[in-house]
């Protein structure tokens, strides 16, 4: 993908520069023809040129309008080209490991009480979400986050996501077109919830329906009566005046209802009139899989949003101040276009949520598809029906650039993991946990193969005390362990626990007694998982498998190979680390 991103970045940067030059030329052309049109109009008005000057003024003004329209399109294409270039630069940044600078980190989804996300770096700085997220709307962002916050409801749903993501991985043009159009439509992450609330909301014009036919009758009647008066068919302007007075009365009486409707519309639409091209990109893509075909059908909104956009453009005259006031009184403009928008809301309101839900799902699947395309060494896991299965070959931490790969078999087992400080114990737990989260979200995993059942991950690794809540470190850890134990019992054989250095906030004897009993309780609940420890007495707990990492000293320096081995560690490095730091022992 790196070469693909480089080529596409170069293409869009060159295109942006070309469009910038064209935009500058069109801007100068617009100014020139506007000045020509104004000059000939003024010259003709003051008899400096003959009457044919009006014709030249008209022609040059038409050319000005044509150049203005062309210039607007070029500006839109330039924005689109810049957005595409930015997407490819992001791709290069991800491949280079610079994704930790991305601003979208999923911080709103962080919760200290969640059973695994704080410990596994699912959200926040340096997180899986920061590396994965390539969505453009708030709905897409929320859906992608929800897939990481809990396992999919079934193995069939996971396989469906895998299939769709694998297909989208092959369509870099579509994935980038989807994001480009959405980001051109809204520079910030657009939130469709407000637009959906508007279309599904109450009928705000119901109380003035009586005025709708008058919007057609009165302006036509006033014009007709005025012309009849002008040509002396009617002896007095009284009837035309009365008709126009009725127009003014209707405009005044309906003003409040129209203002309320327009206010709710402008608060809710949030730029979604410009999402026409986003949905058009979806409609134009010839998908193969059933899930993606279904989403394409649900997202067939481009022509309907285009109609909404046209109607809204007429209604926007309301933002023109005194100009709008004059036009509205003469033509009852608001009643014509706001009632048309109300008709659109009534006819299409039931579908809008489905459109944006389908778009959000496509965004989330495309984000996973981008991960698949950028990491060809990752593999989709096999989801099995039996309980408590985790069988991995060459498993690594997915957020490390060069992870050390280890085989991990936790099926119907509890591992006690020993080893020196910094040897890789905690990283192994996080690799197991994060790959499980990814597998059950429908993502590929950092392993040559993984067979996993529908497990519920639960962790205790980064326990913090809280002065504000008056909670000590030890009590905070107790609360966390209680939550893990309760969740493991509830899951009845479908729990994966990952515990790092149990009960460090108490004395050695009590820690050892409590830790051994906790392991037994989790094992008896049918849970599988791993516990890291420096308390070698825990390795004597019945029914556990002991594995370890080891270290070595070379040239006076501690070195680690991060390779997992069977058995209990035979060396520790705490004293050597203290001595290496200059602490006399």
Domain range summary for the chain, segments of one domain joined by +: 1-96, 193-362, 382-580
Residue 449 DSSP label: E
> What is the rounded distance in angstroms from the CA atom of residue 579 to the CA atom of residue 585?
7
pLDDT cut 70: percent of the chain above it: 93
Token pair for 324 = 């709008």
Residue-wise pLDDT for 402-432, tens only, equals 899 999 998 888 898 988 878 888 999 999 9
**What CATH number labels 382-580?**
3.40.50.300
Residue-wise pLDDT for 293-344, tens only, equals 999 888 877 788 888 888 888 888 887 767 788 888 888 999 999 999 998 8
Residue-wise pLDDT for 182-227, tens only, equals 787 766 667 777 788 888 888 888 889 999 999 999 989 988 888 8
**C-alpha distances out from residue 279 to 190, 276, 453, Å:** 14, 5, 36
> What is the rounded distance in angstroms from the CA atom of residue 354 to the CA atom of residue 175?
20
Beta bridge partners of 379: 445
Contact (CB, 8 A) for 186 and 274: yes
**C-alpha distances out from residue 199 to 272, 275, 346, 572, Å:** 12, 16, 7, 65
Token pair for 561 = 């190979």
Q: If we measure between CA atoms, which residue out of 89, 101, 143, 163 comes closest to residue 372?
A: 163
Q: With a cut of 90, say whether residue 161 has pLDDT above it.
A: yes
Question: In terms of pLDDT, which residue wins out, 571 or 382?
Answer: 382
Residue 539 DSSP label: G
Token pair for 121 = 């770096």
> What is the rounded distance in angstroms from the CA atom of residue 487 to the CA atom of residue 147?
19
The region of weakest confidence among 125-129, 353-357, 445-449, 507-511 is 507-511
Q: For residue 173, how far is the Cα from the chain centroid?
A: 19
Q: If we measure between CA atoms, which residue out of 201, 176, 195 comes closest to residue 272?
A: 195
Q: Determine how β-strand 495-500 pairs with β-strand 414-418.
A: unpaired
How many residues in the chain?
585
Q: What is the DSSP string of 258-276?
A: HHHHHHHHHHHHTTGGGGH
Average pLDDT over residues 517-533: 89
Average pLDDT over residues 252-279: 78
Confidence of residue 167 (pLDDT cuts 50, 70, 90): very high
């Amino acid at each position: 993908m790196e070469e693909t991103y480089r080529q596409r970045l170069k293409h869009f940067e060159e295109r942006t520069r070309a469009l910038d030059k064209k935009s500058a030329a069109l801007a100068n052309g617009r100014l020139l023809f506007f000045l020509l049109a104004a000059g000939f109009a003024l010259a003709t008005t003051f008899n400096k040129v003959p009457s044919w000057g009006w014709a030249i003024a008209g022609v040059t003004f038409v050319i000005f309008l044509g150049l203005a329209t062309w210039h607007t399109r070029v500006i839109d294409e330039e924005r689109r080209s810049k957005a595409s270039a930015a997407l490819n630069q992001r791709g290069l940044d991800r491949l280079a490991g610079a994704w930790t600078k991305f601003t979208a980190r999923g911080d709103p989804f962080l919760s200290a009480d969640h059973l695994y996300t704080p410990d596994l770096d699912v959200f926040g700085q340096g997180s899986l979400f920061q590396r994965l997220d390539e969505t453009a709307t708030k709905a897409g962002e929320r859906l992608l986050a929800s897939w990481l916050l809990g396992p999919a409801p079934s193995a069939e749903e996971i396989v469906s996501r895998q299939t769709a993501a694998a297909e989208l991985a092959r369509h870099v043009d579509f994935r980038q077109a989807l994001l480009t159009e959405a980001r051109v439509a809204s520079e910030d992450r657009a939130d469709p919830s407000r637009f959906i609330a508007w279309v599904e909301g109450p009928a705000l014009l119901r109380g003035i329906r009586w005025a709708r036919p008058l919007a057609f009758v009165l302006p036509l009647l006033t014009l007709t009566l005025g012309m009849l008066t002008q040509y002396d068919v009617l002896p007095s302007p009284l009837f035309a005046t009365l008709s126009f007075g009725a127009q003014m009365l209707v405009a005044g009486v309906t003003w409040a209802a129209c203002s309320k409707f327009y206010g709710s519309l402008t608060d809710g639409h949030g730029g979604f009139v410009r999402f026409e091209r986003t949905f058009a990109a979806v409609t134009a893509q010839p998908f193969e899989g059933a899930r993606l075909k279904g989403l394409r059908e649900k997202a067939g909104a481009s022509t309907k949003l285009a109609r909404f956009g046209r109607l809204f453009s007429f209604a926007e005259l309301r933002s023109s101040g005194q100009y709008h006031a004059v036009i509205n009184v003469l033509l009852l403009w608001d009643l014509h276009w706001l009632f048309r928008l109300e008709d659109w809301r009534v006819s299409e309101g039931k579908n809008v949520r489905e459109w944006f839900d389908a778009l959000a799902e496509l965004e989330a699947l495309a984000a996973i598809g981008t991960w698949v395309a950028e990491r060809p060494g990752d593999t989709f896991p096999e989801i099995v029906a039996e309980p408590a299965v985790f069988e991995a070959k060459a498993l690594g931490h997915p957020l490390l650039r060069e992870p050390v790969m280890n085989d991990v078999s936790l099926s119907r087992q509890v591992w006690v993991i020993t080893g020196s400080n910094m040897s890789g114990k905690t990283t192994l737990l996080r690799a197991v946990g994060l790959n499980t989260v990814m597998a059950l979200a429908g993502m590929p995993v950092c392993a040559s193969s993984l067979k996993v059942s529908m497990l519920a991950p639960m962790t205790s690794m980064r326990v913090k005390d809280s002065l504000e809540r008056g909670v000590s470190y030890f009590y905070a850890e107790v609360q966390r362990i209680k939550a893990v134990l309760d969740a493991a019992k509830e899951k009845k054989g479908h729990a994966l626990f990952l515990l790092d250095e149990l009960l460090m906030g108490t004395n050695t004897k009590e820690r050892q007694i409590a830790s051994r009993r906790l392991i037994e309780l989790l094992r008896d609940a049918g849970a599988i998982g791993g516990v890291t420890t420096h308390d070698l007495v825990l390795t004597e707990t019945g029914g556990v498998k002991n594995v370890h990492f080891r270290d070595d000293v070379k040239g006076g320096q501690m070195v680690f190979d991060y390779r997992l081995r069977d058995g209990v560690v035979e060396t520790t490095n705490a004293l050597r680390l203290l001595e290496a730091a200059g602490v006399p022992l």
